[in-house]
Amino acid sequence: MSTDNSNETASINPIKNPEQDAADSPENEAEASLGHVDSPDEQANNPEQASNPEKVSSPGEEKSPEPKDNPLQVKEDASDQSTTDSKEQESPRVEIEAYWVERKRYLQVIRKIPELKRRYVKAILIYLLRRFLWSFTFFPVFIAFWVPLVLNRFNPVAMVQNLLPSLQAFVEANPQSQAATIETLFIAWFSIGFTFAVFDFILTPFKSPYEYEADVHMRSWEELHLRNKI
């Protein structure tokens, strides 16, 4: 009995499973080393993976890092942008300088014209006469009558009745008191006129004929400059 059993086991051992032989074949070992390869049925279910076989990678394969921007190129772009910004800032500055240079040149030319010199003298005399007339004639006289009229509630009869005693006292007074009263009135008139003259000179400055001619010339110059620039 023992010899029969040993013969049976010896006859069974050499017979191997064909599936195990296929799994142990060198081709399957190579496929396992390269990674999992999809079967035709799996490739049909995943067309994207079948069309791009390069996407199939082994489990131990790492993803390549994404390319970064070159720092030299970034510096060049920043320098180009800074140069363009500086040019844009310099262009209006150059235009302003050219404007004032042209204006000064034109003023130097027109100041040599005799007709404009006469116009300048005439304009400044008229300007001064108007300012002094307004400041030392109109405003002091207006205030001298307006303040008493307001104090008497806009009643001219009451205003005259209040002023007559003061005028009578001035006429009957001695020369020293009359001189003191006149001096007081003169100081009041001069202070009011001077105050209004200062404000008048500040609020209405003198406009020179030269400046007027220069403004007209520079308007035409700006129009020509814009046309040439376009």
What is the overall mean pLDDT for the chain?
73
Q: Where are the domains of the chain?
A: 2-53, 69-110, 119-229
pTM over 0.85: no
Cβ neighbour number for residue 135 with a 10 Å cutoff: 20
**Between the CA of residue 100 and those of 91, 95, 105, 145, 224, what are the distances in Å?**
15, 9, 8, 50, 16
pLDDT single digits (tens) 17-27:
444 444 444 44
Closest CA to 208 of 98, 101, 131, 107: 107
The amino acid that residue 3 corresponds to is T
pLDDT single digits (tens) 175-213:
999 999 999 999 999 999 999 999 999 999 998 999 999
